[in-house]
Amino acid sequence: MADEKSAAPAPECKKCEECIPGLPGWLATFSDMVTLLLTFFILLLSFAKTETAKYEAALGSIKNAFGGNVLKHGEVIQRGKSPDDAPTMLESQEPVHPFPIEFLTMEGMLDKHEINRESTEELTSMKTDLFNYGLTDFSDIYEVAEGIKVRIKEKIFYQRGSLEPYAQSISVEVFDKILKLLTSKKWVIFIEGHASANETSLNGQMDTLALSSARAADVTRTLIQKGVPPNRITTVYYGSSRPNSGDRQSSEINNQIKDQRVEFLIRKVDLLEPGHKVESQ
């Protein structure tokens, strides 16, 4: 009896369903989604401007979110920065401030407001002011590290050794437009006085420095008399240290006259405006 039981066949195991070869279907959909997201961010990067200020602002936002230290890039050696210009971990007591929402926008999609690292000047509004006051064709606009500079093309040229300008100096039309801009809008103007090499006053009492200073001061007084606030005027003089680039086709006398000049530079920010105070060491 025991032998009959031991000889009984073992029950067969239930056969599993045959597995379909390959990855599950949902993984293909997930891969497509990740690929499309990657393509989207690459497209955003291709439209973006690679500016150091944006990288620093983004790093500051990450620091505020997670705490701790952040990497800070710069063109000058700072505390915690190695001499070979390699980025080095800085102390968390010197955070990089988070970036505003404007940094997340893309040109062409939204009205982007570019923020200059060193200045609060905004190029679009400055161009609008120049257009509204008819100075677009009479000025050159330059973007520099500390902001935006607008240099008036026309200048005041002076007779040698004198404070008397030539008749072909800056036109009355352009001068009036500058006055309207300075009295109506919050712009500042820099009056730059110059003199030609070895130039002295007719009475022999003023050298090049004094002569260029007197020319700049004379224009400054005129602007104040016309209603320009004195705190929006900066008067500088260079003597003969910054001659005008001479034209080879012009005579030496004509090039000399171009050095006896007063130039106008207008901006939205005064150089005396206090900026962010930093430690001396």
Kindly report the CATH number assigned to the domain that includes residue 161.
3.30.1330.60
The structural domain count of the chain equals 2
Give the pLDDT of residue 146: 74
Same-domain pairing of 253 and 150: yes
Q: Tell me, yes or no, whether 272 lies in a domain.
A: no
Q: Tell me, yes or no, whether 114 lies in a domain.
A: no
Dist CA 62 CA 69 (whole Å): 10
Same-domain pairing of 143 and 237: yes
Q: Tell me, yes or no, whether 73 lies in a domain.
A: yes
Same-domain pairing of 82 and 183: no
Greatest mean pLDDT among 11-15, 164-168, 191-195, 252-256: 191-195
Parent domain of 231: 123-267
Q: Percent of the chain beyond pLDDT 90?
A: 31
Same-domain pairing of 155 and 87: no
- pLDDT-derived band at 262 (thresholds 50, 70, 90) equals very high
Same-domain pairing of 253 and 165: yes
**Confidence check: pLDDT of 275 > 70:** no
Same-domain pairing of 130 and 57: no
Same-domain pairing of 158 and 186: yes
For the ranges 4-8, 31-35, 263-267, the lowest mean pLDDT is seen at: 4-8
Same-domain pairing of 201 and 82: no
**Confidence check: pLDDT of 64 > 50:** yes
Same-domain pairing of 69 and 156: no
Same-domain pairing of 88 and 164: no
Output 79-87 pairs: Cβ under 8 A, ≥24 positions apart.
79/279, 79/281
- pLDDT-derived band at 18 (thresholds 50, 70, 90) equals confident
**Confidence check: pLDDT of 6 > 60:** no
Q: What is the mean pLDDT of the chain?
A: 75
Q: Tell me, yes or no, whether 155 lies in a domain.
A: yes
Give the pLDDT of residue 66: 55
Same-domain pairing of 46 and 77: yes
**Confidence check: pLDDT of 202 > 60:** yes
**Confidence check: pLDDT of 104 > 90:** no
Same-domain pairing of 98 and 165: no
Which value, to the nearest 10 degrees, does the dihedral of the CA atoms of residues 174, 178, 184, 185 take? 130
Q: Tell me, yes or no, whether 154 lies in a domain.
A: yes
Q: Tell me, yes or no, whether 279 lies in a domain.
A: no
Average pLDDT over residues 197-212: 89
pTM of the model: 0.56
Contact between 237 and 193 (Cβ < 8 Å) = yes
Q: Tell me, yes or no, whether 98 lies in a domain.
A: yes
Dist CA 112 CA 106 (whole Å): 7
